[in-house]
Amino acid sequence: MSYQFTVTGMTCGHCERAVTQAVQALDPAAEVRIDRAANRVDVASTQPRDALAAAIAEEGYEVAPA
Amino acid sequence: MSYQFTVTGMTCGHCERAVTQAVQALDPAAEVRIDRAANRVDVASTQPRDALAAAIAEEGYEVAPA
């Protein structure tokens, strides 16, 4: 499945890496694309949307409700 | 020696960690204190100032001239 998340609080490249790693900890095969300026995180993953959103939120970023 | 650096570009806690790790890669015993809001990095280290400044700059942050 492909998901699009609106994620705020990513301020730098380290944050992008933290979000990517959080998703890939849940699903190592996940593809993650981040447009930080747009607060946009696109994920292709077999995991459910809620689990992915929770993993990103646990890193300390705000994920907008779907 | 104790050094004070003015470092710009640290936007989040990951950046603080990156700066700390850059300094401690050079000198594992170095003490690092960061006041991100003040762009201030205090370092206690046996390494010379220039080497510490270069290590921080290599992480992608701007270090003001002494």
Query: Domain containing B46 — which CATH number?
Result: 3.30.70.100
Q: pLDDT (tens digit, 9 = 90+) per residue, A53-64?
A: 999 999 999 999
pLDDT for B66 = 74
Mean pLDDT for the stretch of residues B40-66: 96
Expressed as residue numbers, the domain containing A24 is: 2-63
**Mutation target vs B (from A10, A11, A14, A15; most B CBs, 10 A cutoff):** A14
B7 contacts: CB under 8 Å, gap ≥ 6:
B19, B39, B40, B41, B56, B61, B62, B63, B64
| Sign of torsion over alpha carbons B57, B14, B34, B9 | positive
Q: How confident is the model at residue A65 (pLDDT cuts 50, 70, 90)?
A: confident
Mean pLDDT for the stretch of residues B56-65: 96
Chain B touched by A11 (CB under 8 Å): yes
pLDDT for B48 = 97
Specify the number of domains making up chain A. 1
Q: How confident is the model at residue B65 (pLDDT cuts 50, 70, 90)?
A: confident
